[in-house]
């Protein structure tokens, strides 16, 4: 007797498959994300993948797009004045759900393939540049607020430095969050961004 099943709406089932894929990758790595393991976690059988994705690689690429969106959407939709946006930017990127070991595992798994997989490389660069551009705009706005020039060369250099700092602290936090006291990373990040900008962030720490 064949097992009973539920017919799900297309968008919903696609999303379930993508979520199961990310679960597999974070727990078992890319090589553990087999069609059988993915579909088992999604509660369906292996054949169904081909109904929603032309190939397994396309499912993987869709999962990467989904991950990038979840890691960047909060930081790209900030509201308020430039100063509070900058403070929120720091906090969001160094606290859950952006900063945890699962995010790092996923991010690293895909990054390791970006150099050799053109499809993933395209997905990556698109998301990366958008992220850095939004940070550069944020810095320019903040400088203007404090009466400084928004000189493109300066903004670019500061965006590169602060982007690097935030990436690195995010890494440290994900890899060994237990080595830091509560709020320590955010305090260090805030002080460092102030030092790099040469400006103080009122209301911080």
Partner DNA sequence: GAGGTAATTATTCAAGTGTACAATAAGCAA
Partner DNA sequence: TTGCTTATTGTACACTTGAATAATTACCTC
In angstroms, the CA 165 to CA 159 distance is: 10
Looking at the Cβ atoms of 27 and 73, the one nearer to DNA is 27
Dihedral pair phi/psi, residue 109, rounded to 5°: -60, -40
What are the DSSP E strand ranges found in 27-152? none
Tokens of 86: 């900058």
Q: Which of DNA, a second copy, none does residue 161 bind to, with CB < 5 to 8 Å depending on kind? A: a second copy
Site string for DNA, 90-119 (x = CB under 7 A): ------------------------------
Dihedral sign (CA 188, 108, 59, 26) = negative
11 interacts with DNA by CB under 7 A = no
Report, in angstroms and rounded to the nearest whole number, the Rg of the chain calculated over CA atoms: 20
Report the residue from 25, 49, 155, 174 that binds DNA according to the rule CB under 7 A. 49
Q: Is 130 in the site for a second copy (CB under 8 A)?
A: no
Which of the choices a second copy, DNA, none does residue 29 contact, using the CB cut-off of 5 to 8 A by kind? a second copy
Q: How far is the CB of 54 from a second copy (least distance, A)?
A: 20
Span interacting with DNA, options 39-47, 61-69, 115-123, 192-200, rule CB under 7 A: 39-47
CB atoms within 10 A of CB 73: 10
Q: What angle do CA 19, 127, 52 make, to 5 degrees?
A: 35
Size of the site for a second copy (CB under 8 A): 46
Residue 34 near DNA by CB under 7 A? yes
**At which residue do the structure tokens 């490389």 appear?**
121
Q: Quick check: 64 and 123 in contact, CB under 8 A? A: yes
Distance between CA atoms of 62 and 66, rounded to whole angstroms? 6
What is the binding site for DNA (CB under 7 A)?
1-8, 10, 13, 33-37, 39, 43-52, 55-57
Residues in the site for a second copy, rule: CB under 8 A?
25-31, 101-102, 104-106, 108-109, 111-116, 124-125, 128, 157, 160-161, 163-169, 171-172, 175-176, 180, 185, 188-189, 191-192, 195-196, 198
């Amino acid at each position: 007797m064949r097992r009973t099943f539920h017919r799900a709406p297309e968008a919903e089932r696609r999303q379930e498959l993508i979520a199961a894929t990310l679960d597999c990758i974070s727990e078992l790595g890319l090589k553990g994300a087999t069609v059988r393991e993915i579909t088992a976690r999604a509660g369906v059988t292996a054949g169904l993948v081909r109904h929603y994705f032309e190939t397994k690689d396309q499912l993987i690429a869709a999962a990467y797009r989904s991950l990038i969106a979840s890691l960047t959407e909060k930081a790209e939709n900030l509201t308020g004045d430039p100063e509070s946006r900058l403070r929120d930017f720091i906090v969001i990127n160094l606290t859950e759900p952006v900063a945890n070991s699962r995010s790092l595992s996923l991010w690293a798994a895909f990054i390791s393939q970006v150099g050799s997989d053109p499809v993933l490389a395209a997905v990556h660069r698109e998301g990366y540049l958008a992220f850095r551009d939004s940070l550069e705009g944020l810095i320019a706005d903040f400088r203007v607020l404090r009466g400084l020039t928004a000189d493109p060369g300066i903004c670019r250099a500061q965006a590169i430095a602060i982007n690097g700092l935030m990436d690195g602290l995010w890494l440290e936090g994900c890899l060994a969050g237990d080595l830091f006291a509560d709020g320590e990373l955010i305090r260090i990040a805030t002080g460092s961004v102030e030092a790099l900008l040469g400006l103080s962030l009122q209301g911080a720490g």
